[in-house]
Chain A
Amino acid sequence: MAKISSIQDIERIAKEKRDSLFKKPVISISSGTCGQARGSLKIVEAFKRAIYGLEDMVSIKVSGCHGFCSAEPNVIVYPDEIFYPNLKPEHAGKIIHATLKGEPVESLLYREKGNKFAHLKDIPFYREQKRNLLSDNPLIDPTSIDDYIAIGGYQALAKVLNMDPEEVIAEIKKSGLRGRGGAGFPTGIKWEIARKQKEEMKLIICNADEGDPGAYMDRSLLEGNPHRVIEGMLIGAYAIGASVGYVYVRNEYPLAIKNLTEAIRQAHEYGFLGKNILGSDFNFVIKINRGGGAFVCGEETALMQSVEGKPGDPRPRPPYPAEKGLWEYPTVINNVETWANVTKIMEKGAEWFSSVGTDGSKGTKIFSLVGKVKNTGLVEVPMGMSIQELIYKVGGGGQNGKRIKGVQIGGPSGGCIPKELFHLPIDYESLTSAGAIMGSGGLIVLDERTCMVDLAKYFLKFLKEESCGKCTPCREGIERMHEILENITTGKGKEEDIKLLEELASVVKDASLCGLGKTAPNPVLTTLRYFRDEYEAHVNQRKCPAGVCKDLIRYEILEDVCNGCGACLRPCPQEAISGEKRKVHRIDQSKCIKCGICYETCKFDAIAII
């Protein structure tokens, strides 16, 4: 492939590729990490076998994640966008033959509440979304730069190279784009600060250290559409005057690293990276740095330390990275989703972007809708959609008919919002006022079987291990708070503990050095604010209302439900269950270690947590 050296070249190639891409029906197989965990590679194999000899009439595409994780493995058939969820390898032949006839396989279509849906756009999970970024994933094979060019890729870059860098920054400012990584700092302003610095050398970083447990949109974007992120970085580099960029990516994302590495190689081959990009005098290269499994490295100053080859200890700000960043050079750090949005904004214009969203939060945001909710997956919705709509309309409500009681937003730095506040719109300000944060967009739905005290303890344990230990409030404060919660959840809580927790939380919040410590008390503070009764039940009545905390519960067999099937008998590691066939079984409480295996084994809900 010869290097592409002009805008006309890109447009010509795009047209050629586009024409060939949709000449015949395309079966797009979702095969991100989630899909693969659910067996998508076997589906790919089955389609490859079934299509043998029919390649001229229909084609298959192995794409990144389609977003609807609980329906994995799934395929979308283009151009009609027919959606087939939860496939098995034996379905491949049927789908190919029906596609050739131009009709759907009725028996394999998506069903919800007695209704059948053929088209993607009609399925409730997709219908309520606005997938500006995610809708490209199924259209492309992430390892093919040609696919990306076919859907208009690198045209935004071509456009930008004919603009003044200041104009590019003005456009991003006008769009109202705010950082998607957590804090929501206006992207255009960050760029402007970096551009104004006197140093000649400037740097770009893409923060792909998506450390918030429960969030994985960045993984999906990097896996499914890496060129979109590369193009965004190119635009940012041109705007601020940088010639080197780094992607700091989690080591836990092997497929993302693989696809990104390949994408960078192809972009070099085509001349989108390297010297004299598209015939201009703009040069830019991208290097990949792998993380080492440290949560704190998602914090920008710690991340930069790590790129420099040092342990990820944060440093105080100011100076901000845009003034003095990596190796003391002005550095713009944005996260993956922000960079992907940059490309879209320069392609379609600031007004297109800001036409959705709220006054202070423009555009769409990707959330990972997970936990105790029926439809799990990555959802992209306009900023300002209410939590209620997101969980019930897109997510389809609780799992197995269980009652939802709240949602955890924003990872360990975020907070828990109770269902009474589900009317709140999802934007930066509303979430902050409720004690949570937007964070990177992890949205974990909690139901009656989630213990809020246990959840707060979980986050503190997480943060305790991840605290770098440099400043005392964070290092010691989190440790002590965790200790108190450990006592409360094991039935050793004292009445004054709750007050002490609140006091410690406020000290850690005010006195910690970096974002990790400053936000660490959020999960404790919000659960205390909205679910205080659960804390009180643990302390005063020595009870865990959700039935989670081991020391405060016991498992019992319900005599009127148990049919004596014996399924729980064998797996019990303690031989604590006894009973004859077809007669009510019993658990010997003195032997029971509360491992919960009988509970998950019983198909008749005959085991209760008391």
Chain B
Amino acid sequence: MEVSKLDEIIEKYRYDESGIIGILHEIQEKERYLPEDALKYVCEKLDIPPSQIYHLATFFKAFSLVPKGKHNVTVCLGTACHVRGGQKIVENLERELKIKAGQTTKDKLITLETVNCLGCCAIGPIVVVDGEYHGEMASQKALRLLEDLKKEG
């Protein structure tokens, strides 16, 4: 990640240690993961040990230390989605993509993730594809979303 962009982000949080989670969010939004060199740079600028930033980056589920795929498929596993079959959807997507939730396909096309709750419980199960929410999902419908992504490339 470019140093000037990192500087901009750190500047926005006024070199304040309490803003560090915000800084990590912004890096992840730009890069879709937290690159090691970016984290090292942040440590230097904020004068904090790498162990601290590593602790944060691994404590919070939102952060990833490995690059993600081009497309992101997230299945909500909140309680309401669970009782309506969210887990089945995850299993079927895992089987189709030949990866486990949290992993990325070999061709780096699709990352499959689960989330605790998106707060759209009334219309669950929810599957989010690249930020777009799809309600009242079922395994078949979700598999079709995958097909669309594969076609799109």
Contact = CB atoms under 8 A, between A and B. Distances in A.
Interface stretch (A139-147, A266-274, A367-375, A419-427): A367-375
B126 A37 contact: yes
Contact of A309 (B18, B85, B123): B18
A305 to B, nearest CB: 10
A55 to B, nearest CB: 30
Interface string B7-34: 0000000001111111011000000000
A607 to B, nearest CB: 14
Contacts of B61: 292-294
Contacts of A444: 79-80, 83, 121
Contacts of B56: 292, 309-311
A408 B79 contact: yes
Nearest to B120: A34
A447 to B, nearest CB: 8
A307 B13 CA distance: 13
A455 B122 CA distance: 18
Interface in B108-153: 115-124, 126, 133-135, 138-140
Interface residues of B, number: 49
B121 A33 contact: no
Interface string A285-311: 000011111110000000000111111
B82 interface: yes
Query: Residue among A213, A295, A466 with the most chain B CB within 10 A?
Result: A213
Contacts of B95: 573, 593, 595
A154 interface: no
Interface string A580-610: 0000000000000101110011000000000
A442 B88 CA distance: 22
Contacts, number: 166
Contact of B116 (A455, A462, A468): A462
Given A309-B21, A311-B56, A595-B139, A216 B119 contact: yes
A455 B138 CA distance: 19
B117 A214 contact: yes
Given A371-B83, A371-B84, A252 B17 contact: no
Sorting the interface of chain A by its residue count into under 10, 10 to 19, 20 to 34 or 35 or more gives: 35 or more
Interface string B85-113: 10110011001100000000000000000
Given A450-B83, A462-B116, A595-B91, A214 B62 contact: no
Contact of A290 (B21, B92, B140): B21
Contacts of A253: 119
Contacts of B25: 251, 290, 292
Interface string A306-335: 111111100000000000000000000000
A36 B81 CA distance: 17
Interface in B52-84: 52, 55-56, 59-63, 77-84
Contacts of B116: 211, 213, 252, 293, 295, 462, 466
Query: Residue among B17, B22, B81, B83 with the most chain A CB within 10 A?
Result: B83
Contacts of B88: 595-596
B133 A36 contact: yes
A243 interface: no
Contacts of B20: 309
A219 B79 contact: no
B97 to A, nearest CB: 12
B54 to A, nearest CB: 10
Contact of A571 (B91, B124, B140): B140
Contacts of B115: 252, 293
Interface of B: 16-22, 24-25, 52, 55-56, 59-63, 77-85, 87-88, 91-92, 95-96, 115-124, 126, 133-135, 138-140
